Every structure is written in C-alpha cells, then in structure tokens.
Amino acid sequence: MRGDVSFEADLANRTGCAVHAFDHTVDGLPSPVTGVRFNRVGLAPADAPPALLSLPTMMAARGHDRVHLLKVDCEDCEWAVFGELAGSGALARVDQVLIELHFRQPATNLAGPDSGVRQVFAFFENMEAAGLYPFSWEVNHNAGAAGAMPWVIEYSFVRPDSAFMRDVGAWQALSRGGRR
C-alpha cells in the first residue's frame, strides 16, 4: 500500500466487495477511497496487539469466515507469516493470494543452507497443501538496487474450486467494469 491504493480502489469500484487495507506503518490512506476500509494493523505470524495480528485474528475480528482475495506485501514478513499459516488451517479459507516474495539474497545467488531455497520450497509446498496453486508471477524490477539482480517476485495463487474458477464468465465481466 504505502501511498498507492489504486489496486484496492479499483477492486472496490469494480466489484462492490468490502476491501480492508492493513498497514501498521502508516496513519491512513493517502486520500479517502470509497469502499476501502483502512486498518492500522500489520500482518504477523502471531498476535502482538495492537499493531500486529495474525490472519485468523483479523478474520475473526471482522466476522469473516472466508477471504476471497488476500493481497500481501509485508516487506519480508511473508516467510514467517505463511510458515505459521500453513499449520493453522486459515489458508483453507482463502480463495486467492497475491503476494510479493522478498528473497534473502538481493545481490548474490550463493548456494548453501542460508540461500533461502529451502524456505521457497516450503512456501510453495504449504500453499499447495492448502489447495492454492500458482497461476501467475512477475519479477518486480523496481525493488532491486541499481546493478543488483531482481530479488522480489510477485506471485498469484488461486484455489481451483473457488468462485474465481467456477464462474469465470462473471469474473471476466467484472474485469471489464461490470458489477456482480
């Protein structure tokens, strides 16, 4: 988020969905956005109130049993958060995940136990175990320093039996600006 809520605003406008934005590092949205509710809370593997909460706690506090779309860009907290979510069962109640993964080696590609490769495999295994499968990815070239290899990749995962997949025609209409 951090000053750019265009995705959240467009999602709320096109779908009429309740959109909750969470960021404990800013005081609020850069400007009021219809349909987007700001929460000054960050995502964490375990609750550390009031600033950091787990996904199950956030869902329960808002009375949500299901999350249709979870967009995560928590600047390196994703590894711990999703490691913890793997055992909680919360990912089974998420239909789609858009996530920015920050890799541990921004300027090298060294082998070894600290390379981050095991962590990446565990992440993908946990997502698949939760029924979420990758369908899109792109390198975020804006996150790397000049002359360094890109070290941030944005992935999209979807649950095959979710509404996103069952009613593709309706979702395609939404992407053209229709309402559901």
CA 88 to chain centre: 17
Name the pTM for this structure.
0.84
DSSP-assigned letters across all residues of 162-179: SHHHHTHHHHHHHHTT--
Q: Do the beta carbons of residue 155 and residue 99 sit within 8 Å?
A: yes
Token pair 């709320």 is at which residue?
12
pLDDT tier for residue 109 given thresholds of 50, 70 and 90: low
Domains and CATH numbers, the chain: 64-167 (3.40.50.150)
Percent of the chain beyond pLDDT 70? 83
User: Which is it for the CA torsion 137, 138, 139, 140, positive or negative?
Assistant: negative
pLDDT digits (tens, 9 = 90+) for 6-60: 999 999 998 888 899 999 999 999 888 899 999 999 999 999 999 999 999 999 9
Cα–Cα dist 98/21, whole Å = 14
